[in-house]
Amino acid sequence: MAPMFTNPDSSNTRLPLQKPAFSFSTNSRASNLLPAAPGMQQQEQQMDGSWDMGDDVSDATHNDNNDSRVYEQDDMMTFDSAHPGNSNTHPEIDAFAVRLDSSRLLQPDDDPNSVEAALSGFDLIDRFQEVSTARLEEIRKYISEDSPVEDQEELAQWQLEHQTWELFGTLSSHRNDGDVKPQEMPKDLAYTSNVRFKEFLLETDGKFREWSLILQWLQKYAPSPTDELEEEPSRYGSGWMYTKESLKSQKRMGGKRLPSLTAGSNLFFADKMEKKNLITELDPDAPSRQQKQLEAEDEEAERNFMRLIWKFIRKGDVQGAHLACVDFGELWRAASLSGGEEAWDPSIDGPRFDIDDDENDLRVKGNRRRELWRRMCYAIARKPGGDIWEKAVYGALCGDVVSVQDVSATWEDNLYAHINSLVEEYYSKYLASFGRVPASAENFPIFNSTVFHSKSSSLSDDSTILPRIIDSLAAAEVLQPESGQALRIIQGALISDRIEDLVGELHRQIKLLKEDRKANISDGIYRIEVTNSQTLRVVVHIILVLQYLKSAFTDDSPQLEQAESLIAAYIEFLFSEGKTKLIPLYAGRLTSDKAIEVMGGILMNVKDETRLELLKLMRMYNIDVEGCLKKTMDLCLEVTEERHTKNSRCMIRLEGLKGDTGLHNPIEEEDELLIRGLEWLMLGGDALKSEVVKKGVVVYKRFFVTGRLSAAKVVYDKINSESIINSPEYTGHTTTLALEFKRIFKEKEDRWALDVYNEFEIFMRALLALESWNERLSKRPERSDRAWRAILDETFKNVHTKVPGVIKTWLDTAIEEAPRSLDTAFLISIRNIYIPELTFAMHDVYVEAGKWLSKQLLANCLELATIVADPDRSVLACFQENGRLEEYVGALADASRSVLGTGATKGSLTIWRVR
C-alpha cells in the first residue's frame, strides 16, 4: 500500500536548497549510539520537512572555528559517570556546554540573519539531541529489570528528552520555513489522484503540515508491535479453533449444543452445564449478524489480535497491520484495512518511486472512494457493543476521537487521537472543496472534528485548537501523573507554540524564590518547577536556539527579560554544581547589562584560583569584563553595608598582640567579601586602577569605623598603592606620584581618593610599627641582654619615625583639599577615633623605652604632649570629641613622675585588639 506521505521528486522540492531536508530519521550521529529498543524504530517512510539528525559523521567536522575554546573534552563526549560510583555529577551539563561552544553559534563573524546562521541553530538542536541519545545509551548499559526505581525513572526521563529535542527540531524547522504558504492549485493537478492533492496541501498549508508532523512524531515513538508479536505469537490468533470444535461436536451430537471444550470440562455433566449463546456459522460477520459470541478462548484471542492491530495503526504502520492480518489468516480484515490507501493511476499520475512497483505496471492501486471507506470505519467504531480494540482500530482509520480515547491510557495516545482526527478532517474538507468527495458520502455519518475541536466553523481559521487540546490533556485526571511531568509540559508548550508562556511561568517562580526561598511555586498555570535541573537545562537551551533563529526572545521581545532570568538561574545552578568554567559561555548569551549583573554576582563568590581563567573566558565570549568587575565590587559593598553600619563605633581601643607577629582577630565573612571585591578590581588592569583606589577608600573607611584592623591589614598587604601603581617613589611618609600615576588618575576626585588611600596606608604603616614594637617587647628575655636591647632600639627608632608624624597631621590635608562635591565627614570621624588611641600608644612606647633603653626617652612623653596641646593642630579636638583629654592628662602625670623619678608607669602597651 502507499504510505501516508510521499517524498517529492527533485522537481518538487519544497524546502530551499540551503536548508537541510529534514525527516524523522534515527539513522543519525545520535541514534547510531542507541541500541534498537521499543519506541525508537525508524519509520520506513518519512515526511519531508520533519527533523533529520543527519548521517553519522565525526563531531569534529562541525568545529570549523579554531578559537582555542576552554572545553578540551572529547567532542563525542561519553557519560561514564552514569555508572554508579562515578564522582562527576550531571555530566550532561558539560556535554551540552561542549556542543554549544563547539557549534557555529558563537562565531562573531556570523550574520545572525543569514541562512548559515539558521543552519547553525538547527545544527545545535542536532547536537543537543546527540547528547540526550548518548546519555540514554549509557544509562541503558547499567539498567536491568532489577535496577532501582530511580534508575528506571531516569531512563524514562532521558527517553522523553530524546523525543523532546526531535519534536523541537521538527517544529522549529517547519515554523521557520517561509516556503509553506497558500498557493493556487496548478491546473495540471486537476485530473490527478488525491495523493497529489495531499502532497500539494502539505506544500502549501502550514497548519496541515504542522499537524501532520506532530502526528508522525507521535507515530514514531509509539511502542513497536513487532517486539510483542515475536514474544508470544500464539496469543493473537486461533482461527476460532475452539468455536469450530464446538460446532463440529454439535453436529456429531445431532445438533445439540455442547458446553465449551476447555480444560476441566466434563462431558458427562454436559447436559447440566449452562449452554452458551455461540454463533452457528463461521463467516467473519457471524458474531455481529447473529448477535452471538465465540468461545471464550477465541474471544480472548480476537481481543489480543485487535489490540495488536491497534498498535500497528497507532504506529502509523498500516502496511504492517495488513501483513499481520494476512499472516493470521484474516484476509477479509486485511482487505478492509487496505481501503485507506488513496488510489493512484500510473497512466495519469506517473510511476510511484516510493514503493516497490514495476514501472510497467499501469494498474490502478488503492481506493478511489476512500471517503466512503472512512464512513464505513466510523460505523464500525461507533456500533453498539463490540470489542473496544476493534472499534479503536477503525476509529483511528477514520479520524474518530471518542473510540480511540476509549483505549488510550497515555498522554501520547490521547494526543494522537486528537491530532489524527484533525489531519483526517482537514484533508477531507480540502478534498471536498475541490468536489473530490462523492455525493453519496453525505448519506453516511462521520466524526465531525471541526465541531469537536474548533470554536469557529473552520479548522483553518482557529488558532486555539492545539492549545486547548494540550490544556484538556493536562486537566484530565487519569492523565495527570503523566501530563504533569516536566518534559511532557515542555512538549505540550512546543506543540501549542506557547513556549513563551512557559518561560513566563518559570520566570514568575524565580521571582518568588528570590523574595522567599521557601515560597510555594507550584500554584501556577503549569505544573512545572524551575528548581528541577533537567527542566531548567532543557528550557534554557531551547531559549538559546530560538534566540539564534530569531524565533523568540529576541532583543526587541517583551519576553527577553523573562528568558534572561532563566539563563541567569541556570548560571547560578552551574556555580552551585562547581562548573564555574562553563558560566562565561552562557553569560555571553545575555545582553550586556544582564551579563554584567549576573557575572557580578557570580564573581563575588568565586574564592578559588580560577580568576584569571574566568577573565580570559569572559573576554572570549565578549563579556564586558570591566563592567562585571565594577558590579562585583558594588555588590560586595551593598550586601555588607547593613552589617558594617550596625557595627560602627565612635570609640575604639587598640590591644597589642601577645607574642605573635600575626593577627589574632579572625577576619569575618563580610570582610573577606570586601577584600575579594578589591582583588577582582585589581585584575582589571589600568582601566580600573582609579576604581580600585576609590573603592579601596570605602573599604578602609568601613574597616576603620568598625575597628576591623586585621581586615585593614590584609588590604594593606594585598592591595597597597605600590601594587596598584607599580612605580611610586617613597620619600619619608609621603608618596611622590610618578608619571604613570598621573596618567591613570586624571580626574580631581580620583587624585583626591588616591591621596586619602595613601593617608590610610601611612596610618597602617604606623600601626605596623607599633605592632613590631609590641612584639619585640613581649619577647624580652628574663635578663635583658645587649643584643635584645640593640634590636629593641632599632624598633623604637622605626616607631618614633612613623607614628608622631601621623599624630600631627594625619588626614588634615585630605580634609582641607577635598573637592566640594565630596563629603569628608567620614575622614573627620576616623581621625577622631584613632588619633587619641595612637597618642596613647606612642605615649606608652616612650614610657617602655625609658624603662628598657634609656630614661632620657621618657622626656618624649612631654614632647608628645606639646603636639596634643598645640592649638593649631587637630589633635586636641580629637581628644575633646571623644572625651579622653582627662584620661590623657592622667597618663601624662604618671610619665612626668617617672621623669622626675618619683613614680612608675602603669599597665602594658596594647595595639590591635578592640575592647
Residue range 785-837, pLDDT digits in tens? 889 999 999 999 999 999 999 999 999 999 999 998 898 999 999 999 999 98
DSSP H/E element including 736 = strand 734-736
**What pLDDT, on a 0 to 100 scale, did the predictor assign at position 259?**
54
Q: What is the largest CA-CA distance in the chain?
A: 150
- pLDDT category of residue 386 using cuts at 50, 70 and 90: confident
Q: Is residue 53 within 8 Å of residue 31, measured between CB atoms?
A: yes
Judged by average pLDDT, the poorest of 232-241, 449-458, 636-645 is 232-241
Coil/strand/helix, residue 135: helix
**What pLDDT, on a 0 to 100 scale, did the predictor assign at position 656?**
38
Is the per-residue pLDDT at 83 higher than 70? no
Is the per-residue pLDDT at 427 higher than 90? yes
The three cell numbers of residue 577 are 554544581
- Cα angle at 607 between 601 and 610, to 5 degrees? 95
Is the per-residue pLDDT at 272 higher than 90? no
Rounded alpha-carbon distances, angstroms, from residue 98 to 106, 260, 354: 12, 67, 39
Coil/strand/helix, residue 505: helix
Q: Is residue 381 within 8 Å of residue 395, measured between CB atoms?
A: yes
Is the per-residue pLDDT at 23 higher than 50? no
- Most confident range, picked from 60-74, 130-144, 691-705, 711-725: 691-705
**What pLDDT, on a 0 to 100 scale, did the predictor assign at position 827?**
95
**What pLDDT, on a 0 to 100 scale, did the predictor assign at position 353?**
65
Asked whether the whole model's pTM tops 0.85, one would answer: no
**What pLDDT, on a 0 to 100 scale, did the predictor assign at position 179?**
73
628: Cβ contacts below 8 Å, ≥ 6 apart:
595, 596, 599, 600, 603, 618
**What pLDDT, on a 0 to 100 scale, did the predictor assign at position 561?**
97
**What pLDDT, on a 0 to 100 scale, did the predictor assign at position 337?**
93
Question: What average pLDDT score do residues 309-336 get?
Answer: 92
Is the per-residue pLDDT at 499 higher than 90? yes
Spatial separation of the C-alpha atoms in residues 845 and 777, rounded to whole Å: 10
Spatial separation of the C-alpha atoms in residues 832 and 650, rounded to whole Å: 8
**What pLDDT, on a 0 to 100 scale, did the predictor assign at position 740?**
60
Q: How many other CB atoms are found less than 10 A from the CB of residue 551?
A: 16
Judged by average pLDDT, the poorest of 357-371, 497-511, 895-909 is 895-909
Spatial separation of the C-alpha atoms in residues 202 and 302, rounded to whole Å: 37
Judged by average pLDDT, the poorest of 580-594, 632-646, 729-743 is 729-743
Rounded alpha-carbon distances, angstroms, from residue 598 to 575, 589, 602, 603, 635: 11, 12, 6, 9, 11
Question: What average pLDDT score do residues 283-291 get?
Answer: 74
- pLDDT category of residue 245 using cuts at 50, 70 and 90: confident
**What pLDDT, on a 0 to 100 scale, did the predictor assign at position 55?**
38
Question: Which is more confidently placed, 390 or 53?
Answer: 390
pLDDT digits (tens, 9 = 90+) for 501-539: 999 999 999 999 999 888 888 777 788 999 999 999 999
pLDDT digits (tens, 9 = 90+) for 629-685: 999 999 999 999 988 877 666 556 654 333 333 345 788 999 999 999 999 999 998
The three cell numbers of residue 316 are 502509523
**What pLDDT, on a 0 to 100 scale, did the predictor assign at position 619?**
95
Is the per-residue pLDDT at 25 higher than 90? no
In this structure, what DSSP letter does residue 419 have?
A: H
Backbone angles phi, psi at 278, to 5 degrees: -90, 155
Q: What's the gap between Cα 357 and its chain centre?
A: 50
In this structure, what DSSP letter does residue 276 have?
A: P
Is the per-residue pLDDT at 852 higher than 60? yes
Coil/strand/helix, residue 723: helix
pLDDT digits (tens, 9 = 90+) for 864-889: 999 999 999 999 999 998 888 998 99
Nearest CA to 53 among 63, 44, 45, 42?
Answer: 42
Is the per-residue pLDDT at 486 higher than 50? yes
Q: How many other CB atoms are found less than 10 A from the CB of residue 310?
A: 24
**What pLDDT, on a 0 to 100 scale, did the predictor assign at position 660?**
35
The percentage of residues in the chain with a pLDDT greater than 70, rounded to a whole number, is 78
